[in-house]
Structures are given as structure tokens and as C-alpha cells.
Amino acid sequence: MIRKRVAKATRFLSFFRFIYLKKGKESERKGRSDLIYAILLFIAFSFVSYRLIGSFESKSKVLISSFFSLLFSSAVYYMFHLKRVPEQKHFIQFDHYTFLYFITLVIVSMGFALILEMMTDGSPGPREQVGNPVKQLKLMVKKNIRYAQLLRYVAKNGLFKSPLQMNRESRNRQMGEALKNTLEEAGGVFIKFGQFLSTRTDLFAPEFIEELTHLQEDVQRLPGEQVRLIVEEQLGCSIEEAFASFNEQPLAAASIAQVHRATLKSGEAVVVKVLRPELKEQMAVDVAILSSFATMLENRMSWASNVGITSIADGFIQNLYEETDLSIEQSNIQQMRNGMTEHVYIPKVYPAYSTSEMVVVEFLDGVSLGKVSTLSKNERVEVAKLIFDDMLAQIFERGVFHNDPHPGNIFILHDGRPAFLDFGAIGKLSEFQQRGFIWLLFGILRRNPETMAIGVERLVVNSEEIDFKKLELALGEFLIVHSFEGDILEEMGTDLFDIMGNFGLQFHPSVAAAFRSMITLQGSLQEIDPDFNLERAMQRFLKTQLTVSKAKEVIEETVEDELLNTLPRLKTFPRRIDTLLRQAEQGDFTINMGIFSHKENRDYVNQTVSLLFLSIVGISFGLLSLGALFLAQNETTEGYSFLDVFGYSGLGLSVIMLIRVAIQSIHRTK
């Protein structure tokens, strides 16, 4: 068997070198030695290419480019040289042809690396995708096919057309419809991205949001046999060993996972959430394309640039990877249970049966919020109050809240208690952000724009860009327009988001998620209590929970925090003054300012200057080499003159340097 494989490898090598091997032991031995030579050559020039390209490049790309360079260069070497000379004992002969062969190997390898760099992007990929050059190449081909497909949908739906004759509302609606149609045709991750955008009421116009809410995805259910294989692979045993019963018919199926009902050996009823098997491979392609698509939108469309669509896409991608790691959902459930009260129930998770691709959770016997019909009107009002108060407690007290409280994710148990389901994504607020919320709400309650501005500062990403005087004026006008006595809190929220947009401010993703959760919850609670009003419920919360004493407590804590942060600086302040004076006396006093005051900026400038210098040297070498070759034409010496050697060598070096510059330049833009 081993001899057959060696013989096959030898014949395979003979195809690469284009040398006919005669039958017999001598020929077989010669083939084996050639195979060893080829492997050593591949390793050696892969290392050389890796060093010439730069260590920033992934090894897998270098190996792929080196492999194809070996095929191409060997074919050219054979066709133009070896085919015309008698067969030698060793297929490498050290002459000027061999020298050109080696130069060609390196240049072609770097050329392939440049092509790979242009065809790939810098978007994040799955964590398990590491190393394998063949898989990397297959993934790259899939990405480019998928990207071409997406561009067809973009052109078909006229996504980049923006008629200026339309009014603002019509233009927003048309852009929303074009984006919706494009994402819907692309399917998969793109539909989920559109659904995610439809929740960002803080960033997009209502007409734009309305179009995206119509996105639909068609999900095929996994067959029972396939589900059984997945579950048994995750458990490491048969289903019968782990469960007393397992229903292969799914309770629900979505694009990420599928849910089945089961019973443990202990008799406990559970649901088993199973990750779709093809999901991560498809995500590896779609996520990379989505990142490039977002960049393209931001470069071409003003609305995408204004909202920072690339950062939104990056956040969505991060959330998506968290949703596809079911071990994170286990942790989320446990965090929610840690803050559980007696009024609202959170199901328990079973870690012994759960993995990163499967999670087993307690089955809740009840009905979803939208299907409640047995409760009286008073009971419905009370349940809505319990759910709303618990959600506010999650946001303002625990700092961990349900990210998507739609009616399907809220159950009413048979004992009348509400319960939350589906914890694939939860929101988290720091104490700093919680206090910012309280400052903002207390400012609204007390009609104080200065207090509101302090809250806004803690809730936005780019707080250093705030012009407080102008912001306080805008918030003052906002309070004049809204009396807060009527049912206008949702309208106030929309206007507040408009103010943030006008000042170029963006809420932290977790803060925006908290706003979205409250708005989503309002729609959910109106399913059981049509008279439920978010504004009145919020006013009740402000009056009962956000009292003056509570606000004073927050203010005192804030002052304490600021003092604790400031005292260490005050302690070192005299010593720093003394150091500055001593440096001034000694003539060593310097000030870093402008773009060179930060290490990242200095590194960027240094790299840019290095690339510019390398480009100049490469072009100079190329011009000198062309001049040398031109002069060599006038010489009458036989063979290759010094000018020939210098000219061809210089051209090779020039090409190598310029390709390196091109690869590094493309790499830095990602």
C-alpha cells in the first residue's frame, strides 16, 4: 500500500515537473528524490515569500500562493527550458535559467498573494476557522461568488439610486424598500441584519423602519433523523440513554436553531434547542460579505454614513456570533435567574446536557402573551404591571435585561405568573449607564435641561463631541414642546433621538437596546391590556421609584465616585508641577501635540513613510534596470553581460518591492 502511494505521488510530481519517468526501479528512485527536492523547494521559497511579503500576512495565504506559484512556474520552466534539453539525473540545473526560475517562483508567489489579498477582506470570521489552506481557498471562492450575487441584487433593486426630486419621507421609504428587497433576496444573515436594523428607531426614519419590518425569512425544518444525530453527537450517547422521551417534531424552527420537546430520566419536562448544522459555514461567508457590503453602503450612501452603518454591522456580527454559541445563552439564563423575583419567572438551564451547540432548558407550561384568554381584565392589568415593573427593575437595578420582549418570548404560566423565554441575546448596562438613565429621567421629571445633558453624556458613545451649551438649549426647547402631562412619551423618545442625530451623537448599543426593549414591551403588553400605556406606566415609575431621595442618592454616589477618581490626581499634582519646572530649567521641556501626540498616529505615519520610501526605491530600481537593459543592447559580447544580469535582477527586485507595497497598502485599508 505504501509503495503504491509513493508511486502515485511520484507520478503526480512528474506531472508538475513535466518530466516523463521511465518504468523501472531506477526511475522510481529518481521520482522519489525529485519529490523530496520539490518539497524542500516548496518549503524554502514559501519561507522566502513569507518574509518578503511581510509577517502581517496570514501563513495560509502564503502557502496557497506558493503552491500555485510552484505549479505555474514549473510549467513555464519546463515548456521553455527543460523540454529542450536532455533529461538529467536531477531536474534542477544551476544556470541562468534556474536563476530566472527562482526569481519567477518568488514574483509569481507574491503576485498570487496580492490577488488573494484583493479578493479577501478584513471582516471577522468564525473562531474555529484556522489555518487549513484548502478550506481557506474554498471559503474565498464562495465569498466572491456570494458577493457577485449580492451586487446583482443591489443593481436589480436600485439600492444606490436616490432621486433628489422626492420629498424626504418618500425618499426614505424608497431607500428602505430597496434595501429590504436586496436583503430579502440575499437571504440568510442579511435578513437577520435587516430585522436588526428595523429595531434601531434611534437611528432611522419611521418610513425606513416600516419597510424593513416587512422582511420575511423562509426557514426549512431539519428532519428528525438529522436532529437525532446532532443531539447524540453533542451528548456523546444515544438519545434513549439521556432522555425518557424526545419529540423529533420541532416546537419551533428559526434560521439559527430549532427547538424540540423532551423529558429527562428524572421526569422533568425540558426543551432542547439545537443549532443548525450548516449555519457556521454559511455564516463564515455571509458575515464577511456583510462587512464589505456595509462598507460599500457607507461609502456610497449619505444615510449609511450618517448612522455609521459599518459600526452597526460590526455590532450585529458580534451579537450573531454570541447567539450561535449556545454556551453564552446558558450563561445569560443563569444571570437572569440570579436577579429573578417571585413575581416573574425565569426557566432553569441544565448545564450537564448543554454544549456550545445545544442547550437544554426547563419546559414552561403556559401560553404566550398573545394567546391569553382565560384571565379577567383586572388580572391582565395586574400581569402587565408586573412585567413592566420587572423590566424596569432589570434595566435600572440589576443592569441585565431581556433584549427582545415580544409576545412570543413572554409566557403566562398556569399559576398566573409571567415568565420570560429565549435568552440568546440579553442587554447589559453598567452602573455608570444606569445612573445616566436616572439623570436623564430625573431631568425630564424636574424639567431641567442641564440634568438631562449630564445623563446624555453618560449614555452616548462619543461624549467628547458634546457642545453642552447648544445641547442644553436644544433640550430646553424639547421640554417646552413636551409638557409630559399627556400620553406623548413615545413621541418624546423619537424627538430625543432626533436631537442626538442632529448633534452627531450615538447612544451606546446597550442603551439603545434598553430603549428598544421598552418600546417592544409596550406593544407586547397591549396584547393582554389594550389600555396599557407606556407613558402613564413610566410616569408611575418615575413618581414611585425615582423619588427626590433616590435622585439625591444617585447624586451623592456620583460625587463620591468623582472624588475617588480625582483625589489620586490631586495627590500627585504638586510632584508633577515640580517635574515640569525642573524640565523647563534643564531645557528638557517638550510638548506632544497634533497627530504625533498618539503612538497609533506616529506608527501610521511611520508606516506610510516606509511604504512611500519602498515605492520610490522600487520604481528607481525598475528605471535603472530598464536603462541597463537598453544599454546592454548596444554591447557585442557573447552571452550575458554585466548589464544584462544587473538589468534583469533589478527588474525582479523592483517587481518584488512594488508587490510588497501593494499588498501592505491593501492590507492596511481593511
Are 482 and 529 contained in the same domain?
Answer: yes
Are 70 and 178 contained in the same domain?
Answer: no
Instruction: Report the distance separating Cα 519 and Cα 199, nearest Å.
Output: 10
Are 113 and 148 contained in the same domain?
Answer: no
CB 483 within 8 A of CB 491: no
Are 498 and 538 contained in the same domain?
Answer: yes
Longest dimension (CA), the chain: 108
- Is 261 among the domain residues? no
Helix (H, G, I), strand (E, B) or coil at 9: helix
Instruction: Report the distance separating Cα 407 and Cα 419, nearest Å.
Output: 11
Instruction: Report the distance separating Cα 319 and Cα 256, nearest Å.
Output: 12
CB 230 within 8 A of CB 256: no
Residue 468: per-residue pLDDT = 84
Domain boundary among 65, 92, 119: 119
Instruction: Report the distance separating Cα 485 and Cα 539, nearest Å.
Output: 9
**Domains in the chain, number:** 4
- Is 353 among the domain residues? no
Are 287 and 165 contained in the same domain?
Answer: yes
Residue 263: per-residue pLDDT = 94
Residue written as cell 409566557? Answer: 411
Instruction: Report the distance separating Cα 529 and Cα 14, nearest Å.
Output: 79
Please give the full DSSP string across 289-316, using - where no structure is assigned.
HHHHHHHHHHHH-HHHHHHTHHHHHHHH
Instruction: Report the distance separating Cα 361 and Cα 498, nearest Å.
Output: 41
Host domain of residue 10: 2-119
Are 147 and 114 contained in the same domain?
Answer: no
Domain boundary among 269, 292, 317: 317
| Nearest to 203, CA basis, from 101, 127, 282, 315 | 315
pLDDT beneath 50, residues of the chain = 1-3, 5-25, 89-91, 123-131, 486-487, 549, 595
Residue 247: per-residue pLDDT = 92
CA–CA–CA angle 156, 160, 164 (5° rounding): 120
Are 149 and 286 contained in the same domain?
Answer: yes
Between strands 366-368 and 243-246, the pairing is: unpaired
Residue 87: per-residue pLDDT = 56
> How many Cβ atoms from other residues are within 10 Å of residue 156's Cβ?
12
Are 70 and 105 contained in the same domain?
Answer: yes
**pTM of structure:** 0.62
- Is 248 among the domain residues? no
Residue 9: per-residue pLDDT = 46
Domain boundary among 499, 533, 556: 556
- Is 268 among the domain residues? no
